[in-house]
């Protein structure tokens, strides 16, 4: 994909969780929006449309070069395809000294997604899946904490727990869409332990075995989210409320999965407008020191 190719513009996506919303501190909305558009656009390169794996990998390689240009501080015009991404991101990097290694890790995860899909490959066990989450999700939380000025080891650990839980929740929410596209996040070891075959997943027929398998994943995601949730008391002001709603949004999706009796092989649960009132109420209880 050459630099003279047509610019790639943002794709509109429904979001379960607030991103750079009015709850964020006004001074941080621009860098948070820049981070969001950087990650969202990379995700589109890896996932949207019907391009071949080779084309996607080349686009991500070009995108990485544009990131390196934004990180090195040189006054080099950004790649025309993504000037709307890397112009704001360059400013955010310069003003807030964003760690480039975390941005690179996100791209590593998108490359891994393309390669796994190309090869119809899954994840051998939870350790391998969690290692993927370390690149695909945890950098986002760490970048936000960097902007909030919170960087002690416990806070970073709790952020990783929340972000990994959100990534896992997204996996279990999206099984009905991911599996037909050749994306397998239910690990080989977990499937074998529950007696679930790849063929059974591809058929997307609910059974006692698949229900128990998905229920276990939901339980683990909820446990991780609750373990990381005390971080909300470390982030003050409007940002703290934003984080509370992120946590409650994830937990509410898990509620929705449970209401479907864990049959996300056939149905994708989503949040509705009326869920917001419950999320706000639960967020208020978190502010009162109750989880």
Q: What is the pLDDT of residues 112-124, one digit of tens each?
A: 999 999 999 999 9
**Domain co-membership, 277 together with 138:** yes
Q: Look at residue 7 and tell me if it is in a domain.
A: no
pLDDT surpasses 70 at 4: no
Helix (H, G, I), strand (E, B) or coil at 210: helix
Q: Which residues constitute the domain of residue 65?
A: 26-119
Q: Give Cα separations from 226 to 81, 219, 247, 269 (angstroms).
A: 40, 11, 8, 21
The answer to whether residues 122 and 185 touch, using CB atoms and an 8 Å cutoff, is yes
**Domain co-membership, 142 together with 104:** no
pTM: 0.88
User: Last residue of some domain: 119, 147, 176?
Assistant: 119
pLDDT at 9: 35
pLDDT surpasses 80 at 77: no
> Nearest CA to 106 among 141, 148, 59?
141
R_g (Cα) of the chain, nearest Å: 19
Lowest mean pLDDT among 3-12, 126-135, 230-239, 249-258: 3-12
- In this structure, is the dihedral angle defined by the CA atoms of residues 74, 77, 79 and 81, taken in order, positive or negative? positive
Q: Which residue has the higher pLDDT, 94 or 273?
A: 94
Q: Which residue has the higher pLDDT, 33 or 8?
A: 33
Q: Report d(CA 285, CA 4) in Å as an integer.
A: 53
Q: Give Cα separations from 223 to 30, 164, 169, 239 (angstroms).
A: 33, 11, 11, 23
pLDDT at 142: 96
Average pLDDT, the chain: 88
Q: Look at residue 72 and tell me if it is in a domain.
A: yes
Number of domains in the chain: 2
Q: Which residue has the higher pLDDT, 59 or 78?
A: 59
Q: Report d(CA 206, CA 35) in Å as an integer.
A: 38
User: Last residue of some domain: 76, 91, 119?
Assistant: 119
User: Last residue of some domain: 119, 141, 174?
Assistant: 119
* Helix 138-148 / helix 153-173 crossing angle, nearest 10 deg: 140
Cβ neighbourhood burial of 50 (10 Å; 0-12, 13-18, 19+):
exposed
**Domain co-membership, 92 together with 160:** no
pLDDT surpasses 60 at 10: no
pLDDT at 27: 87
Maximum Cα–Cα distance across the chain? 59
Q: What is the pLDDT of residues 19-34, one digit of tens each?
A: 445 567 788 989 999 9
pLDDT at 16: 39
**Domain co-membership, 282 together with 192:** yes
Helix (H, G, I), strand (E, B) or coil at 206: coil
**Domain co-membership, 109 together with 138:** no
pLDDT at 21: 55
pLDDT at 94: 94
> Is residue 273 very low, low, confident or very high in pLDDT (cuts 50, 70, 90)?
confident
pLDDT at 78: 65
> Is residue 204 very low, low, confident or very high in pLDDT (cuts 50, 70, 90)?
very high
Q: Report d(CA 262, CA 214) in Å as an integer.
A: 6
Q: Look at residue 149 and tell me if it is in a domain.
A: yes
Q: What is the pLDDT of residues 212-244, one digit of tens each?
A: 999 999 999 999 999 999 999 988 887 888 888
Average pLDDT over residues 173-190: 96
> Nearest CA to 103 among 35, 10, 32, 8?
35
Q: Which residue has the higher pLDDT, 129 or 240?
A: 129
């Amino acid at each position: 994909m050459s630099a003279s190719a047509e610019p790639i513009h943002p794709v509109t996506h429904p979001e379960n969780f607030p991103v750079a919303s009015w709850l964020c501190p006004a001074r941080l909305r621009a860098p948070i929006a820049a981070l969001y558009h950087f990650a969202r656009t990379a995700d589109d390169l890896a996932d949207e449309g019907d391009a071949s794996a080779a084309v996607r990998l080349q686009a991500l390689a070009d995108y990485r070069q544009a990131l390196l240009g934004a990180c090195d501080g040189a006054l080099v015009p950004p790649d025309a395809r993504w000037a709307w991404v890397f112009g704001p991101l360059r400013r955010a990097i310069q003003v807030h000294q964003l760690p480039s290694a975390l941005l690179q890790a996100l791209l590593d995860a998108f490359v891994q997604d393309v390669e796994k899909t190309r090869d119809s490959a899954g994840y051998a066990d939870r350790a391998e899946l969690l290692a993927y989450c370390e690149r695909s999700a945890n950098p986002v939380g760490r970048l936000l904490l960097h902007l909030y000025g919170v960087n002690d080891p416990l806070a970073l650990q709790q952020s990783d727990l929340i972000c990994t839980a959100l990534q896992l929740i997204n996996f279990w929410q999206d099984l009905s869409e991911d599996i037909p596209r050749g994306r397998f996040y239910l690990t080989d070891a977990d499937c074998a332990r529950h007696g679930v075959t790849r063929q059974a997943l591809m058929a997307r027929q609910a059974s006692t075995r698949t229900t128990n398998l998905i229920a276990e994943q939901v339980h683990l995601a909820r446990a991780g989210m609750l373990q990381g949730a005390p971080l909300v008391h470390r982030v003050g002001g409007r940002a703290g409320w934003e984080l509370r709603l992120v946590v409650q949004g994830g937990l509410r999706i898990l509620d929705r999965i449970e209401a479907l009796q864990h049959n996300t092989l056939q149905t994708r649960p989503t949040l509705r407008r009326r869920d917001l009132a419950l999320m706000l109420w639960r967020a208020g209880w978190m502010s009162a020191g109750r989880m």
